[in-house]
Amino acid sequence: MSALSARKARNGIVAAAAAVALLAIPIGIALPAQAAPPQTSVAKYVALGDSIAAGQGAGTPLDACLRTGAGYANGLDALPRINLLRNAGCSGATIEEVAATQLGQVNRGTTLVTITAGAGDLDIGTVYAACIPDPTTTPCALATASALQTLESGVIAQRMTALLIAAHERAPRAQILVTGYPLPFGGTTPGFPSVIDTAVAALDTQIDGAVDAAAGLGGVPAGYVDVTAAFAGHSAASADPWLGANPSDPVTFLHPNAAGYAAYTDAVHDAYLTVAP
C-alpha cells in the first residue's frame, strides 16, 4: 500500500469513528448537564376566621357571613402558587366558633391556613354600637368594661393556642398564618378611640403570644402577621382611610375597604413567601 493510500485509510477510520460517536450521542452519551427547573408547589389554602377573614366591608356581601370577593383570601388566591379551596370566614365568629364550625374545612391535604379571629371574643360590635353614638353612656361603659375584662383574663390567648394546635392536628403539613388587626383610629385620637386602639393593641399582643405558645407546646408551624405598620397613615381617622369611617354603616365601619384588604393580602403573602416550600 502506498503512503497516500495508507493516509486515506487512516482518515476513513477516523471519520467513521467520529460518525459513530455522533450517532451515539442521542442514545446514551451524556450532554453537559442542564440546570433543572425549580421545584414549586401550589398551596392548598383554607381561610378561617371572623369578618376580616370573610372580607366584610369591601363590597356587596355575597352571603349571610358577609363574605365579599375583595377579601384577602381572594387576593391570595389570585397570586401564583396559592389555590383557595374554601373561605370559611364568617362575620362575628369567635375563636371557639371558628374551632366548632369552621375547622372541619381543614384536612390532611391542606397546606396553608390563615386565621383572623379574636375581635369577636371581645364582642367588639356591641362596644361600637353602644359607644359610637355617645361614649359617655352607661351602656358604653359596661360594654367597654366587659371587653377589657376579657382581655385582662388572658382567655383569648388560651383559646387561640388551642385552635392552632387543633388546626395542626387536622392539617399536619399546613403552614398556619395568624393575622392581627390594624389600630382602627391610628393610635392618635384621644377619648374613646384611644381606648379602642389600646384594646386592639392588647388583642394583637395576645394573638402573637398564642402563636409562640402553640409553637412551643405543640410544635405548630405558625406565624404571626402584623398589619399595624401596613395601615399606618390609613386609619379610619386619616385623610386616606383603608377602614370604613362611617359609624352609621355597621357593615363597613372599621372594616377594611378594598385598599385595606390589598394591604392584608400583601402582608400575608410576604409572610408566606418566607416559609413556602
CATH architecture under which domain 43-273 falls = 3-Layer(aba) Sandwich (3.40)
Place of cell 372541619: 104
Measuring CA to CA, how many Å separate 221 from each of 112, 171, 173, 176, 237?
Answer: 10, 11, 9, 6, 36
Say if CB 86 and CB 47 are below 8 A apart.
yes
pTM above 0.95, yes or no: no
Domain spans, the chain = 43-273
Spell out the per-residue pLDDT of the chain, length 277, in tens.
444 344 444 444 444 444 433 334 343 444 444 444 454 689 999 999 999 999 999 999 999 999 999 999 999 999 999 999 999 999 999 999 999 999 999 999 999 999 999 999 999 888 988 998 899 999 999 999 999 999 999 999 999 999 999 999 999 999 999 999 999 999 888 888 999 999 999 999 999 999 999 999 879 999 999 999 999 999 999 999 999 999 889 899 999 999 999 999 999 999 999 987 7
Helix (H) or strand (E) holding 141: helix 138-153
How many residues are listed for the chain in this entry? Answer: 277
